[in-house]
Amino acid sequence: MPKDVPTSRPGGVPPAATTEEKAPVILRGLLRVFRLRLVYSGDDLLNPPVVFTPSRGATPMGREVRGGIALPRDARASRLHATLHTDALDRLRVVDEKSRNGTHLNGRRIDEALLDDGDVLSIGDSYLVVRAEPEPQADAPVPSLLGDAPSMCALRAAIHRVGPTEVTVLLLAESGCGKEVVARAVHDASKRRGPFVAVNCSAIPESLAESQLFGHLANAFSGAVARPGLFRAADGGTLFLDEVGDLPQGVQPKLLRVLQDRMVLPVGATAPVACDVRIVAATNRDLTADIAALRFRGDLFARLSEFPLGIAPLRERREDVLPLLDHALGRPRPRISSALAEALLLHPWPFNVREVFALAAQLRIRGGEAGVLDLELVADRLGPPSGAAPAAPPTTTSDAHPSSAPAPSSEKDASNAADEREPPPDRAQLEELLRAHRGVVADIARATRRSRKQIYRWIAHHDLDVQRFRR
Which residues share a beta bridge with 216? Answer: 227, 267
Of the two residues 100 and 446, the one the predictor is more confident about is 100
pLDDT above 90 covers a percentage of the chain that reads: 49
Of the two residues 186 and 135, the one the predictor is more confident about is 186
Of the two residues 219 and 176, the one the predictor is more confident about is 176
Of the two residues 111 and 264, the one the predictor is more confident about is 111
User: Over the stretch 241-259, which tens digit does the pLDDT of each residue have?
Assistant: 999 999 988 889 989 998 9
Across 329-341, average pLDDT: 88
pLDDT band at residue 423 under the 50/70/90 scheme: low
**Nearest partner of 346 among 371, 319, 328, 324, judged by Cα:** 319
Torsion sign, CA atoms 185, 190, 196, 201: negative
Of the two residues 364 and 184, the one the predictor is more confident about is 184
pLDDT band at residue 20 under the 50/70/90 scheme: very low
Across 367-388, average pLDDT: 71
Of the two residues 89 and 221, the one the predictor is more confident about is 89
Task: Report the chain's mean pLDDT, rounded to a whole number.
Answer: 81
Q: Can you give the pLDDT at residue 367?
A: 82
pLDDT at 79 over 80: yes
pLDDT at 397 over 90: no
Is the peptide bond preceding residue 48 cis, with omega within 30 degrees of 0?
A: yes
Entry pTM: 0.73
pLDDT band at residue 438 under the 50/70/90 scheme: confident
Q: Which helix (H) or strand (E) holds 357?
A: helix 352-367
Looking at 166-209, which runs of residues are DSSP E strands? 169-172, 196-200
pLDDT band at residue 205 under the 50/70/90 scheme: confident
User: Over the stretch 22-76, which tens digit does the pLDDT of each residue have?
Assistant: 444 444 445 788 999 999 998 889 988 999 999 888 999 999 998 899 999 999 9
Q: What is the dihedral of CA 104, 106, 107, 112, to 10 degrees?
A: -30
| Cα–Cα distance measured from residue 248 to residue 252, given in angstroms and rounded to the nearest whole number | 7
Q: Which helix (H) or strand (E) holds 82?
A: strand 82-86
pLDDT at 221 over 80: no
